[in-house]
Amino acid sequence: MYRYQQPERIGKNHVIKVTGEGELAVLPDMANVNLGVMTENKVLMEAQQQNSEAVKKLIQSLLSLGVPRKNLQTFDYRIDSEYDFDQGKQTFRAYKVTYILKVKIEDLTSIGKVIDTAVQNGANYVANVHFSLKNQDGNYQKALSLALNKAIEKAKTIANTLRVTLNPTPYLVIEGGTLPPPILNPQMTYVKGISSTQFEPGELIVKATISAEFEY
């Protein structure tokens, strides 16, 4: 949060306090998606081996699409014991090995192709597709400027209505606001055979709020 206050004030005049809000509708230009491989086998080492081979195939398919290796990050890896329950009796079924890869996609037109290719090459878990901005700070600065300008315009309107002379430079400015959260699609799991997956990124709303005090 930013707070500005003039270091010296001569006298104590009347004060107008206002707030201003700046808002920008921005198209996302980046996406993240979790792609996973889940394998089951009664023999743990075999489950791990099968999973490892499937993950290698998955990663290679993404690299072949042009996804940079730096955009691939291991998000989760775990081993669970799976059981069946019948009439209150618990029976071991298999070990389940899960590997989840977080993929950053910088070309939004390729999201569907990336996911389809991943599924065709072993991914049986797709979740948490979300859209965000590469330059969040730059867009927030624009919203902040809009917020301050609106606060100044409000102060001028109030001063004109009161028929008083306003000092147009605020002696106190307090910033309030947040960067936009990513647009998050509901968690979903895909199976092999999916094709032509389409995603609509929509818009992100960047907001900034200013509280300002003016003397008149």
Greater pLDDT, 131 or 181 = 131
Give the per-residue pLDDT at 8: 55
- In the predicted model, what is the mean pLDDT of the chain? 87
pLDDT digits 0-9 by tens, 7-19: 555 455 699 999 9
Give the per-residue pLDDT at 7: 54
- Is the sign of the CA dihedral 146, 152, 155, 160 positive or negative? negative
pTM, two decimals, is 0.72
Greater pLDDT, 201 or 85 = 85
Share of the chain above pLDDT 70, in %: 84
Mean pLDDT over 117-146 rounds to 92
pLDDT digits 0-9 by tens, 154-204: 999 999 999 999 998 999 999 975 555 555 444 444 444 444 567 778 888
Task: Give the span between the Cα atoms of 38 and 77, in whole angstroms.
Answer: 10
